[in-house]
Amino acid sequence: RKEVEQDPGPFNVPEGATVAFNCTYSNSASQSFFWYRQDCRKEPKLLMSVYSSGNEDGRFTAQLNRASQYISLLIRDSKLSDSATYLCVVNAEDSSYKLIFGSGTRLLVRP
Amino acid sequence: DTEVTQTPKHLVMGMTNKKSLKCEQHMGHRAMYWYKQKAKKPPELMFVYSYEKLSINESVPSRFSPECPNSSLLNLHLHALQPEDSALYLCASSQVRGFNTEAFFGQGTRLTVV
């Protein structure tokens, strides 16, 4: 089983749609959770950290379910500029520095 | 805009060459990282420096040699690479603390080994 699993997509949605991504992780001892976005041939950029209480940043909402070991990202009112690959990231069991990246979920927002 | 700067942005090198990748950050971060990313794959951790000391080496071949001259700079020295080492090399930095330590990436160096 992969340490961090994501549906690769692509998710193809119209502008204005709401889309949700899920991610599961295998290490119950993980403490740090993040969503990054990566545009084609660019570096990953931090979208948001994910806290146990959940957090929201504008159109983006992240949730953490420790019991089920999954993380979600909800994007409301999708924009064309949201088209990217979204990477779920979790720290490894033995180190807070060792970030494990999921393979990413590709989102395509069409006009 | 990223506050982690990597040079060069592109590099083509032969298998007998020696080259270096450079990374600089001025965010006061004391942890710095090298990641390797192949096409259509997620980034994979190579090395972590904490307070200018190597703290993690993910069993990287010795043809990759990291160096952290000071708290703002991180180098990756390359020697006798193979074509399969062609990839995007990403530098990142973060604060040194417990958890939820957010890492920020540079734009990467796209390396081609011929």
pLDDT digits (tens, 9 = 90+) for A30-64: 888 999 999 999 999 999 999 888 899 999 999 99
Q: What value does the mean pLDDT of chain A take?
A: 93
Confidence of residue B65 (pLDDT cuts 50, 70, 90): very high
Which pLDDT value is given to residue B2?
56
- pLDDT (average), residues B75-100: 92
Query: Number of A:B CB contacts under 8 A?
Result: 56
Which pLDDT value is given to residue B70?
94
- pLDDT (average), residues B34-54: 95
Phi first, then psi: give them for residue A33, nearest 5 degrees: -140, 135
**B-chain residues within 8 Å CB-CB of A51?**
100
| 3-state secondary structure (DSSP) of residue A82 | helix
Phi-psi region for residue B86, left (φ > 0), alpha (ψ -120 to 50) or beta? beta
| pLDDT score of B1 more than 80 | no
Asked if A43 and B103 come within 8 Å (Cβ–Cβ), the reply is: no
| B105 at interface of A, judged by CB pairs closer than 8 A | yes
**B-chain residues within 8 Å CB-CB of A33?**
100
